[in-house]
Structure 1
Amino acid sequence: MPEIEWVKTAGLTPYPAALAAMTARVKAIRAGEAREQVWLLEHPPLYTAGTSARAEDLRDASRFPTYHAGRGGQWTYHGPGQRIAYVMLDLTRQHGAVRARDIRAFVHGLEEWLIRALARLGVRGERRAGRIGIWVADGAGGEAKIAALGVRVTRFVSWHGIALNIAPDLSHFGGIVPCGIAEHGVTSLAALGVEADMAAADAALAAAFREVFGDR
């Protein structure tokens, strides 16, 4: 099968349309009828619930549409100014340093991908034990999440993926407890004073992806 296909969709992609497209693509990858894919897009403002989402963590159900995503994790916000990357890979194969059939290594690879992409943009992103996502110092002596992860693996084909905050409206996160973590906030490249647009973030993501997952 040829190398991984990268697709970038302009505008705002409705969440149900993205779910339908991913479902079809994953089925085709599993059947050997389509290439693996990384899909870059943005969504209109919305909240998604992962399989561990708690009802009480949805603080304002009337603010934006809500969807049950079917991925792992808890509540997440998606909206303009946030780069979504849906990663659909055949995990029965090795991808760079990520071993075949190793879901934990795949998730670690997604984290490493984000950390390396942020480093290319001049930001130090870090993992935190017991917390999903990538974290940065917030400039006020604390820390905040700059990127979220939420994945699903169906018969060793991955889908869903990562969300990197470039310049979203951070007040929109107020309608949920992001990823079930109330004691820390969220941030973005713009909030950190990093002058990086979506194109710059995409270039950093593409370069870092090759370092972690290879370029086949």
Structure 2
Amino acid sequence: MNKCVELQDLGNKDYKQSWDYQEQLFKGIVDTKIKNRREELQLPTNNYFLFVEHPHVYTLGKSGDLSNLLLDENQLKDKGATFYKINRGGDITYHGPGQIVGYPILDLENFFTDIHKYLRFLEEMIILTLEEYDLKAERSPGETGVWLDVGTPFARKICAMGVRASRWVTMHGFALNVNANLGYFDNIIPCGIRGKAVTSLNVELGVKEVSTAEVKEKLLKHFTILFEAEIKTIQI
């Protein structure tokens, strides 16, 4: 079992380019697993964790409803945004500047073979990180992601999640609003959930900007503990 995870910070990168890169890494792991099975080998499989920030983009999961995008093609152009239908779970979400997007591409057979546990661990990583900023974040029953003030009229989502898994290999992941322009969420029904707000860490803390480097450091700390992983940083 290889618990070493290669960390790559892609910086600001186009969504489609990042998606293609994820698919490349994902395929490499799956191909190794197929080779192992066919040839009765025990070659180790790699694990990756990508950090990235995307230009304005809306993505719709495979079970999503296109009507949750409230913009037409011309309005998207006016907003400087792009749109993609993609192969993760979940409905529609927004990615953009000021957001930390994380894509763990893991062979779960190196850790545990339980997708439910995997999602709960990703949520816990976010919850524990926000706790360090004195915010009480929670899960919302029946709704993925991480929320504040669950069960009240002021419930608001601070982190969206959507993953894909095949042969126990994961891709896609989470999007944590750190210094996000929340106005872009007004152009969608986020995750297909009506009547609930979206927030950002800087808004909750009442500051202009939060250090994304500091947040990433905290996320990785909790990821390492939860997954009992070893992080190896790869310079891009």
Tell me the residue number matched to 2:58.
Answer: 47
In the alignment, is the contact (CA less than 8 A) between 2:58 and 2:83 conserved in 1?
yes
In the alignment, is the contact (CA less than 8 A) between 1:88 and 1:160 conserved in 2?
yes
In the alignment, is the contact (CA less than 8 A) between 2:45 and 2:107 conserved in 1?
no
TM-score computed with the length of structure 2 as normaliser: 0.83
Which structure is higher in helix share? Answer: 2
* Match status 1:75 vs 2:92: yes
Matches within 5 A, 1:109-188: 109-137=121-149, 142-188=154-200
Query: Partner of 1:116: helix, strand, or coil?
Result: helix
Runs of 4+ aligned residues of structure 1 deviating over 3 Å after TM superposition are none
* Match status 1:35 vs 2:14: no
Query: Partner of 1:149: helix, strand, or coil?
Result: strand
Tell me the residue number matched to 2:221.
Answer: 207
* Deviation readout 1:68-112 (Å, 9 max, x if unpaired): 121000000000000000010101222xxxxx2211111111111
Structure 1, unaligned runs of 5 or more: 95-99
Structure 2, unaligned runs of 5 or more: 33-42, 231-236
Tell me the residue number matched to 2:16.
Answer: 16
Letter in 1 for 2:198: V
Shift of 1:194: 5.5
In the alignment, is the contact (CA less than 8 A) between 2:97 and 2:180 conserved in 1?
yes
TM-score computed with the length of structure 1 as normaliser: 0.91
RMSD: 1.8
* Deviation readout 1:117-149 (Å, 9 max, x if unpaired): 1112222110010111100139x9612000011
Tell me the residue number matched to 1:5.
Answer: 6
